[in-house]
Structure 1
């Protein structure tokens, strides 16, 4: 059985949507490739940031809530997102993030140098020196040679790791190597990484602002997604049916330790309903929500795209 093709996107919870836009576009220089709504809660935005064309494996997405619930860190959660930046760009990013007042710490992720910092709503990020699939976006405030190159990985906290490690390897196709401190494991698949860390006796986390909602993994097509869905069922998990998200098709389930995972197809992609040169410039809805557009637009807070100054 074929495993996944690495990470597809990571979805998180944010606070004020304008602050989220200002940071991820204006400071980090990502492209807003889709401005839509949470299809399960259409009164909330769903903002997709990625490379120039929304390449699978480059999207970091957010459900922003102006008055979000508090986040409590704990087991059964993904707790940090690592983004790839060109290895020679760490100095540029250290200076740029300091200029914008982000508290920084030098560290290491997956055996690579990294800059560790929170976003404005508390999401832990790790800018890690690595190549990635992302394509530079000419309108970014960040020079092309320094732009973020996509998702690199995520950190997971578990009370018991054995079943999670077995599932990630046996079904999703990740390969394992031991972390030196003996408390965690690094898994690799198609250029993306997962760090699974053991926290025996740790309390279960509660999702809120600054937390990771779910990790989505790439699958080739619907047949690939359904084959992995059957494998999850055989593990005794409870995957959803295949759900049409319009830009991709998805299956959701919780892995043995409780982290919410998604299988997402590579296509049809973010340009299926917008000109590739105008991605993210307007609110787009899947066809089944278009009839609710007036009510949805009235419920959403107004936002503006930040300026492109560096």
Structure 2
């Protein structure tokens, strides 16, 4: 068994309509699914991705209207990466970020790859990473109706960074349970902190990396709007997911068991530093209940929630 790479990252927003504006109108991603959190149907669950909503391209958000601002710290997913085709694309994004007033840093080097760190309006920590020299997991296809030209558009998820006070147990789960490989290190951005460790899975590359940052100077993060809830990794199918469940159980890691999310099936568990991991199947996908050319245009509910549609819609603020 081998995880194929990143599946999706799920974060928190306080205002769905503003979130949609930023990720579709400024970042040019496609809203491929407008649905609800299946564990709390009073909140939206929004999925932004490439043209077809392929696994490995999804950045998702739960709308928690009462969410306070987050306070950055340890035991967290401290940034999420987004891929672009090449170094030239990053120059386009510098200009676009300036045009729209998006908080960002200059282009930097990260293990021989060009990156731009930036934030959305709620302080969500993000990174654009160039695939100029990427030979790993294949990227997605930018949405043809995006306001961003296709040749510089976002093509999928890049590396995620975990910030932890004790990296040993996290690294052990990544390598001994999930089968990640150690792929190198790079210097921390804060003086006096240990190098950041890089792990990869599957075909490797920007779509299959987890970076582990050891911080000795931070308190535990207080989550809220702008923070990340969990990261999910790609599993081929349900049969393989069952095998992963058995492997997680053998390590006596508390877990959810298999959960049917309708668009994919999932398994959840926390690694020793408290970060929530999800393993999710590649299919059946977002076109299960909507035509490909109409993804995200209306509120989609899985069959087991459909009978409650009227009540669910009454508790949501419409997004146009």
TM-score normalized with structure 2 length? 0.91
Which segment is superposed worse, 259-268 or 127-136? 127-136
1:104-119 correspondence to structure 2 within 5 Å = 104-106=104-106, 107-119=108-120
Contact 2:110 2:186 in 1 (8 A): no
How has the CA–CA distance of structure 1 residues 301 and 177 changed in structure 2, closer, same or farther, with 3 Å as cutoff? same
The alignment partner of 2:317 has SS state of coil
Contact 1:109 1:126 in 2 (8 A): no
1:5-24 correspondence to structure 2 within 5 Å = 5-24=4-23
Q: How large is the RMSD of aligned CA atoms in angstroms? A: 1.4
Alignment deviations for residues 268-298 of structure 1 (CA, whole Å, 9 cap, x no partner): 0000100011000000001111111111111
Alignment deviations for residues 178-218 of structure 1 (CA, whole Å, 9 cap, x no partner): 32434320112233211101113632222211111000000
Which segment is superposed worse, 244-253 or 111-120? 111-120
Which segment is superposed worse, 239-248 or 131-140? 131-140
Shift of 1:109: 3.6
1:292-303 correspondence to structure 2 within 5 Å = 292-303=308-319
The alignment partner of 2:283 has SS state of coil
Equivalent position of 1:44 in the other structure: 43
Alignment deviations for residues 3-23 of structure 1 (CA, whole Å, 9 cap, x no partner): 311100000001211110001
Contact 1:33 1:49 in 2 (8 A): yes
Contact 2:29 2:142 in 1 (8 A): no
Shift of 1:79: 1.0
Shift of 1:30: 0.4
5+ residue gaps, structure 1 = 305-310
Shift of 1:110: 4.5
Contact 1:110 1:186 in 2 (8 A): no
The alignment partner of 2:172 has SS state of helix
Shift of 1:136: 2.4
In the alignment of these two chains, the number of paired residues is 303
Equivalent position of 1:212 in the other structure: 228
Partner of residue 283 from structure 2, selected from 267, 275, 278? 267
Partner of residue 141 from structure 2, selected from 135, 141, 157? 135
Q: What is the rounded CA distance, in whole Å, between the counterparts of 2:122 and 2:111 in structure 1? A: 25
Contact 1:254 1:261 in 2 (8 A): yes
Moved segments of 4+, more than 6 Å: none
1:50-65 correspondence to structure 2 within 5 Å = 50-65=49-64
Equivalent position of 1:193 in the other structure: 209
1:160-175 correspondence to structure 2 within 5 Å = 160-175=166-181
TM-score normalized with structure 1 length? 0.94
1:199-278 correspondence to structure 2 within 5 Å = 199-200=215-216, 202-278=218-294
Alignment deviations for residues 125-169 of structure 1 (CA, whole Å, 9 cap, x no partner): 101111551112111111110110100111101111111111111
Equivalent position of 1:307 in the other structure: none
Contact 1:237 1:256 in 2 (8 A): no
Partner of residue 153 from structure 1, selected from 159, 165, 170? 159
Contact 1:85 1:146 in 2 (8 A): yes
Q: What is the rounded CA distance, in whole Å, between the counterparts of 1:302 and 1:110 in structure 2? A: 43
Q: What is the rounded CA distance, in whole Å, between the counterparts of 1:171 and 1:15 in structure 2? A: 34
Alignment deviations for residues 47-89 of structure 1 (CA, whole Å, 9 cap, x no partner): 0000000111000000122331231222221110011112120
Equivalent position of 1:35 in the other structure: 34
Contact 1:55 1:133 in 2 (8 A): no
Which segment is superposed worse, 168-177 or 204-213? 168-177
